[in-house]
Amino acid sequence: MPVSYENLTNVQKAAIALIAFGTEVSSEVLKDLSESELERITVEIANMKDVPHEIEEMVIEECYDIFMARKYISSGGYDYAKNVLEKAVGKSRAIDLLQKLESSLTTTGFDLLRGVDPKQLAQFFQNEHPQTISLVMTQLTPQMASQILAELPAELQSEVALRVATMEKISPDILKQIEKSLDAHFGSTASRDLSVSGGTKTIADILNLVDTSAEKNILQSLEAEDAELAAEIKNMMFVFDDIVLLDDRAVQRLLREVETKDLSIALKAANDEVKRKIFSNVSERVSVMIKEEMEYMGPMRLSDVEAAQQRIVETIRRLEEQGQIVVSGRGGKDDIVV
């Protein structure tokens, strides 16, 4: 927990405010949040301990000021709110409050999509150019983008995935043109300068959430188009720290495929949760042996450690593709264990 108020993130401030407001008020706020927002704020609430009273007071005061600023804007417009706030809290504080409110006062065509059924969106996109679809998908959450991708025809899936993976910065003007089309179809018009970037991380996040069959189809098509790009995406879809997503049986299956030396090297830069996961799935004798080898190795270059971790990740991907292990949190019937 940061000591000073200035170091608090907006999510941490929100967590402190919700704790202060009590369970009844908090539950009403939380039920209106998106899945990703809910996840971020609940993690912060769970980790929040011993917040100094003066920091809690400052957070509540800021919440009150923002609520009042919104009320002034609703009743008399931006200029009216600015004048009232300047008299109440000073010019500098008024500008700060209004800037914090600015992003929530407008709704873009992309924002409107977040409340639309992914199946309806997929239907809407059927006749759109793959580049347009990929641009829109980079503006959505990975969860929603993955649902849309899963609904698209197989040949369109791989084309869109390729364009997201190779996308670079896009001019705000182009995005505004797309927004106008979305506004016309889904709701009111709005304007905001936006820039977007796709890339391998974006498509990896999306593919992590689509069902196994769709993912396999897309990756196979990408491999035929650009094997190097497909390999990069695959490697980003599961990182070494994600070992905690494996159940104990899968970890034990993995360890039968991994060399002890590689495991010892890889664990040198692993977090405590990963180490616990590994050590809880080996005998005490093996656990002692790995720890001794890690100590005996001494300091190592990070690049060597990451290389060992990557070899283990590639083994996990191979075992998953062969159906020998299941990675938790993936979509689709193929991943349901009964």
pLDDT digits (tens, 9 = 90+) for 273-312: 999 999 999 999 999 999 999 888 888 888 888 889 888 9
How far is C-alpha 35 from the chain's CA centre?
10
Final residue in a domain of this structure, among 164, 186, 217: 217
pLDDT, average across residues 3-24: 77
pLDDT for res 258: 92
Looking at the structure, tell me whether residues 198 and 115 fall in a common domain.
Answer: yes
What is the domain count for the chain?
3
Q: Which range is least confidently modeled, 3-17, 107-121, 181-195, 196-210? A: 181-195
pLDDT computed for residue 133 by the predictor: 83
The pTM of the whole model exceeds 0.75: no
pLDDT at residue 100, as a whole number = 63
Pair 307, 300: CB distance under 8 Å? no
* Region of residue 321 (left: phi > 0; alpha: psi -120 to 50; beta: else): alpha
The CATH number of residue 157's host domain is 1.10.220.30
Least confident span in 18-27, 55-64, 78-87, 94-103:
94-103
User: Between the ranges 25-34, 229-238, 262-271, 329-338, where is the mean pLDDT highest?
Assistant: 262-271
Residue 222 lies in a domain: no
CB atoms within 10 A of CB 256: 7
Residue 262 sits in the same domain as residue 176: no
Residue 142: which domain range?
Answer: 110-217
> Is the alpha carbon torsion for 166, 167, 169, 171 positive or negative?
positive
- Do residues 88 and 139 both lie within one domain? no
Eight-class DSSP state of 337: -
Q: Is residue 89 in a domain?
A: yes
pLDDT at 109 over 60: no
Q: Is residue 191 part of a domain?
A: yes
What per-residue confidence (pLDDT) applies to 267?
A: 92
Q: In 3-state terms, what secondary structure has residue 243?
A: helix
Q: Flag whether 305 is in a domain.
A: yes
pLDDT for residue 158: 86
